Amino acid sequence: MLNGKSVLITGGTGTFGHAMTKAILEQYEPRRLIIFSRDGLKQETMRRTRFPQSCMRWMVGDVRDLRRLHQAFEDVDVIFHAAALKQILACEYNPFEAIKTNVLGSMNVIEAAIAQGVEKVVAISSDKSCQPTNIYGATKMCMERLFVNSTVYIGLGHPTVLGLVRYGNVAGSRGSVVHVFDAQRGTGEVTITDPNMTRFWFTAEEAVRFTLSRLNDLRGGEIFIPKLPSARIADVAEAIAPGCKVRVVGIRPGEKVHETLVAHGERAIDCGSYYIIAPSGSLASLGMGTTEYRSDSNSDWVTVEEIRRWWSEYKDSLQ
């Protein structure tokens, strides 16, 4: 699928970028694998410590810079667009910056990809985009609509197709609550925003595997959504910091108690292990049912033991 291709990952030094780079190099033989991100130091650390392969290319740039994207996307076949400002509180307090990166930056990615004739562009979205209650979620919702409706800017016969994957929190990613609980464990007390809070449970490796598996299914404008187990935040705390006292601090600005991957009113087709939301008016959208897929009403849950086992394996992988 990616053998002999030139592949680029925006935001490639993040958690998803590391996992996607590892998976591509293990499973395929790309002609080039380009890491595009703003931080040259992170790129150098990533290159020196993990990915010295000759097919790797390192490009410093910002998705806000359309001219730089045109340069970066030249002779690129596949793009995974993961660049974003992701921290909810940071976006709440810096809304202009969140819009510049997550919305205008995504618009730039689409424009440059179409202009350069990139074959496929897959954007990484979030459950926060469903019925958003914060700036981050609102910017992700806008990004989704840009990608879904980008087909109106593509003429008949144009080689570029664009779509998205939408999934929940990535366990172990930077800023993940598991790292907070691990840091608090030594104090004997962990802080929880709401003991009833639930989240979808997804690892970086699973996110990459799902994204790659949907690449061949992309026809243009689809949103692919995996079916995931849910986790109770109280169970995560018990798995990471067993026996610690729990202090409830209340939810933060813009935060939800539960998350939604398919909102009420979205027309999604059930494909067994995942859903597809096809662009309105497409043949695939005909006959779709309406469903709602929420973290609190899920039928699949991870246990404390499963989380604890994952945490042990995850920490070992960091050594």
Instruction: List active site positions.
Output: 128
* Distance between CA atoms of residues 181 and 234, nearest Å: 11
DSSP assignment letter at 193: S
Rounded Cα gap, residues 272 and 213, in angstroms = 14
**Residue showing tokens 């595009």:** 36
What are the backbone dihedrals phi and psi of residue 78, each rounded to the nearest 5 degrees, phi first?
-135, 135
SS3 123: strand
Taking phi first (over 0 means left), then psi (-120 to 50 degrees means alpha), and beta for anything else, what does residue 258 get? Answer: beta
For residues 298, 280, 282, 209, the Cα torsion angle rounded to the nearest 10 degrees is -40
CB proximity list for 310: less than 8 A, separation 6 or greater: 171, 203
CA distances in angstroms from 112 to 155, 171, 203, 288, listed in the order given: 15, 32, 30, 32
CA-CA distance, 9 to 35, in Å (whole number)?
5
Instruction: Report in angstroms the alpha-carbon separations of 217 from 1, 122, 257.
Output: 12, 11, 33
Burial class for 176, CB neighbours closer than 10 Å (0-12, 13-18, 19+): middle
Q: How many CB atoms lie under 10 A from the CB of residue 59?
A: 17
Query: Strand 267-270 and strand 245-248: pairing?
Result: unpaired
Nearest alpha carbon to residue 195 among 238, 228, 149? 238
